[in-house]
Structure 1
Amino acid sequence: MDRSEFVQINQQQHHMTASVLQNFCNLLVHVSSVLHICRI
C-alpha cells in the first residue's frame, strides 16, 4: 500500500466519523426537545 492510498482511506474514515458525530448530535437535540415537551 502506498502513501496516497493510505491517505485516501484515512479521509474516508474521517468523513464517516464526522457524519456519525453529526447524526449523534442531531439525535441528542431531538431527544432533548422531546424531553422538554414531556416535562411541560
Structure 2
Amino acid sequence: MLTVDVHAASPHANLEIIIFTVTAFQIALGLLAIWVIVLVATW
C-alpha cells in the first residue's frame, strides 16, 4: 500500500512504470518471436 501511495503522489513515477512495463512487454514479445522462429527453423 505504501508503494501505491508514493506512486499516486508522483505522476512522473507512474509514467516511468508504464514506459518500463511497455518496454519489457515489447522485449518479451521480441524474444518470444525469435524463439518461435528458431524453433520452427530447427524443426
TM-score (norm: length of structure 2)? 0.75
Unaligned runs of 5+ residues in structure 2 are: 1-8
* Dislocated runs of 4+, deviation >3 Å: none
How much is the aligned-residue C-alpha RMSD, in angstroms? 0.8
Count of residue correspondences:
35
Q: Which runs of 5+ in 1 are unaligned?
A: none
- The structure whose RCO (Cα within 8 Å, separation 6+) is larger is 2
Instruction: State, as a whole percentage, how many aligned pairs show the same letter.
Output: 3
